[in-house]
Structure 1
Amino acid sequence: MRIDVITLFPEFIRQCASVGVVGRAQERNLLTVESWNPRDFATDNYRTVDGRTCGGGPGMVMLIQPLRAALAAARAAAPSAARTIYLSPQGARLTQARVAGLAREERLILLCGRYEGVDERLIEREVDEELSIGDYVLSGGELGAAVVIDAIGRLQDGALNDAASAEQDSFSNGLLDCPHYARPMQDALGAVPDVLQSGNHAMIRRWRLKQSLGRTWLRRPDLLARADLDGEARQLLEEFRREWLAAQCSQRAGNAPEP
């Protein structure tokens, strides 16, 4: 897969894409990340990429010409067609399901805005999709692009040393992930749950699903409302609820003042 990024800060993108799982994916030729600076395509001596907002008001807007030329160069750099995505707080919220869909594309071009954003005419004519990584505003689209690259890069076949890691991630099945532990089994901070020390894989699978359901219920009940739970999952969730409520009652009783 190839991802081209249109950005005023190409070095930032290169550094983000050179480490960790994404860096390994590039080393294994599973992913290629390239960056293009619109300033290199500006036509004036000052390499101007922004102009004042039409109609007045504060801030500057990124100009059409340098961005359009950068997009054309990125598209011409490889033969396959590329889906162009603008990172914007006004875009659809990025989800794991959308990441999985984008990971199946041959090519993507990520457009990073700055200042007050990008001239709307360029968005209407040159952009296929707008994506947001959250309901907040950043100084530019580079952090959002880095998030998209990382999320997509780790899903490339062979990027992870153990492919099952991606299958067990939070949101992959519509739920949050279960808790994870490492050795030592006993520590001053507590012990690893007995079931994880049992070697009984059926019980471990059941425990992990139960914890995943419970965590989702406690932290992201909105996800449960959309989840299609089978009979086992509904039973495990009900068990978790009963146990959690009983633990809360016990804790309150233990903290109650002496009569």
Structure 2
Amino acid sequence: MTDDLPRSHGRLKVQVTLQPRDLMEEPRRVKGAWEARIVTLFPEAFPGVLGLSLTGKALDQGLWRLETLDLRTFGEGKHRNVDDTPAGGGAGMVLRADVVHRALRQAMSGAPMDRARWPVVYLSPRGRPFDQARARGWAAAEGVTILCGRFEGVDQRVLDHWGIEEVSLGDFVLTGGEIAAQAMIDATVRLLPNVLGNAASTEEESFSDGLLEHPQFTRPAVWEGREIPPVLMSGHHGEIEKWRRAERERLTQERRPDLWEKRKG
């Protein structure tokens, strides 16, 4: 790719190979940089939004690395089939255990098998919900391998064999795991050192301590007859922090009573 593209694009491209491909085409790399390895039928979907803004800049700088592995290359036969009809009958198709196993074996090459150091996950609506605590856990690891599902799912045997954790983006169903993977990686990468540039910016965000974020305001001081709360213009930092804390608690109680009850417990 040429250097005349905006920096927000990260100047990166995806090339499909049998080996997990490091998307950093430039020599700049940070030793021990956090890695995301994605097993997918659509490697061209990456980096997607991850190549934009701060995550794209950090990727360009080698602060983290992104690899994709095309599941199709491990398919069976002339047509590289990756799926088959579900045992016991039913609609749709299921990703084959042998095909997924071959892909994961390649994707995990050189990665630690300790799941605390390197989680291996399958994106599924029946998985445990992804949250900020999980993002922090992934960010503290050396990397993560994500299997993006398609069709009706994946043969359970390969999930059991690899001890794969199922994770869900929310209580809804997507056509595949690629969008969810990008959302989860984004939430994780922004927690890595030097990615945001200001560590304090993550400390007051929603879910950082079990509370939602307080409202934000900026210029003009009056817009459409609506004024910025006077306390924010007072310059009294103690009162500002007290107001923000009260707003965080109010919003959490109103909008996420589940979080409020968990916090009280």
Q: What is aligned with 1:171? A: 207
User: Can you give the 5+ residue segments of structure 1 that lack an aligned partner in the other structure?
Assistant: 230-259
Q: Which runs of 5+ in 2 are unaligned?
A: 1-33
2:138 to 102, 105, 125: 102
Which residue in the other structure is 1:83 paired with? 119
SS at match of 1:172: coil
Q: 1:37 is matched with which residue: 70, 77, 99? A: 70
Moved over 6 A (4+): none
Tell me the equivalent position of 1:71. Answer: 104
Query: Partner of 2:126: helix, strand, or coil?
Result: strand
What SS does the aligned partner of 1:227 have? helix
Q: CA deviation at 1:24?
A: 2.2
Instruction: Give, as a single letter, the amino acid of the residue that structure 2 aligns with 1:216.
Output: T
How many residues end up aligned between the 2 structures? 228
Report what 2:12 is aligned to. Answer: none
Distance in structure 2 (CA, Å) of the matches to 1:91 and 1:200? 46
Instruction: With the length of structure 2 as denominator, give the TM-score of the two structures.
Output: 0.82
Matching residue's letter, 1:85: V
Contact map agreement 1:7 1:112 (CA 8 A) in 2: yes
Instruction: Give deviations 1:109-146, integer Å, cap 9, x for gaps.
Output: 00111000001101111243110111111111112111
Which among 175, 183, 193 is matched to residue 139 of structure 1? 175
Corresponding residue of 1:190: 226
1:21 Cα deviation after fit: 2.6
Instruction: Indicate the RMSD between aligned Cα atoms, in angstroms.
Output: 1.5
How far the C-alpha of 1:224 sits from its partner, in A, is 1.1
Distance 1:53 1:128, change over 3 A: closer
Q: Counterparts of 1:182 and 1:91 in 2: how far apart (Å)?
A: 39
Flag the structure with larger Rg: 1
Higher helix share: 1
CA distance in 2, matches of 1:66, 1:189: 61
Q: Residues 1-259 of structure 1 correspond to what in structure 2 (within 5 A)?
A: 1-76=34-109, 78-81=110-113, 82-228=118-264
After superposition, the Cα gap between the structure-2 partners of 1:224 and 1:88, relative to the gap in structure 1 and judged at 3 Å, is: same
Residue deviations 1:64-103, cap 9 Å, x none? 2221111111111x45443210111111111111211111
Report % sequence identity: 39
